[in-house]
């Protein structure tokens, strides 16, 4: 019974992860094919998840994430912020630029943790809770690189704020998290120097959260 229950939980989590990457939703048939499950098994999972508010069906019968997922996300964000702060603090002090952790929410990036350097005369004021499209700015583009299976780092200039330069790297190896670590500054940032340090911070954070 324990093994069967664990398998059911695993299947339910795989189903939720599948829906998280598809804004238009999936049909039960598509879900069954992609998860390699029978349609009756998928319907049993959907019945339970829908009852708990984790999935919903639209008028065409397509399945989407339910708003119950938002409750879990709000509970996780403070824990994620707390776990990221030591890494971001070290990065901000070393580079002399505002460091941040950005997570993906659909097609937007959300800044969940921000640390400003203590020793610089001027730095970018970047608010926690700021949102921006993923295709603008280094933080969002690093998340898109993660989705495409690429690592390394991304650098941009003036895409979110005039005169601001950003370098970001995806947080690797965490299937449950699409995120990037980055720095932003008004002063020049040498990608060859700062980029590897940002990528190393992203890897450090992945190990801390893994």
List, for residues 109-157, the tens digit of each pLDDT value: 999 999 999 999 888 888 899 999 999 999 999 999 999 999 999 999 9
Contact 180, 171 (CB under 8 A): yes
Query: Given this model, what pLDDT does residue 87 score?
Result: 97
The 10 Å Cβ neighbour count of residue 26 is: 20
Residue 57 pLDDT > 80, yes or no?
yes
Query: Given this model, what pLDDT does residue 5 score?
Result: 60
Burial class (CB in 10 A: 0-12, 13-18, 19+), 24: exposed
Burial 69-81 (b: 16+ CB within 10 A, else e): beeeeeeebeebb
Residue 1 pLDDT > 80, yes or no?
no
Q: Which tops the pLDDT comparison, 121 or 185?
A: 185
Query: Given this model, what pLDDT does residue 67 score?
Result: 87
Query: Given this model, what pLDDT does residue 3 score?
Result: 57
């Amino acid at each position: 019974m324990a093994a069967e229950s664990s398998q059911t939980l695993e299947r339910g989590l795989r189903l939720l992860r599948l829906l998280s990457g598809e804004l238009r939703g999936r049909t039960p048939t598509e879900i069954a094919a992609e998860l390699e499950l029978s349609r009756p098994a998928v319907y049993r999972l959907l019945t339970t998840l829908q009852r708990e508010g984790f999935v919903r069906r639209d008028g065409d019968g397509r399945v989407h994430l339910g708003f119950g997922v938002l409750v879990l996300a709000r509970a996780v964000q403070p824990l994620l912020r707390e776990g990221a702060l030591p890494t971001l603090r070290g990065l901000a002090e070393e580079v002399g630029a505002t460091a941040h952790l950005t997570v993906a929410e659909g097609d937007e990036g959300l800044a969940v943790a921000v640390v400003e350097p203590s020793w610089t005369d001027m730095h970018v004021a970047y608010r926690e809770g700021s949102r921006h499209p993923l295709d603008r700015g280094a933080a969002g583009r690093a998340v898109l690189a993660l989705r495409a299976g690429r690592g390394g780092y991304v650098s941009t200039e003036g895409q979110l704020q005039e005169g601001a330069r950003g370098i970001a790297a995806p947080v690797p190896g965490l299937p449950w998290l699409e995120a990037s670590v980055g720095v932003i500054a008004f002063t020049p940032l040498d990608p060859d120097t700062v980029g590897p340090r940002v990528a190393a911070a992203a890897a450090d954070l992945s190990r801390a959260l893994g």
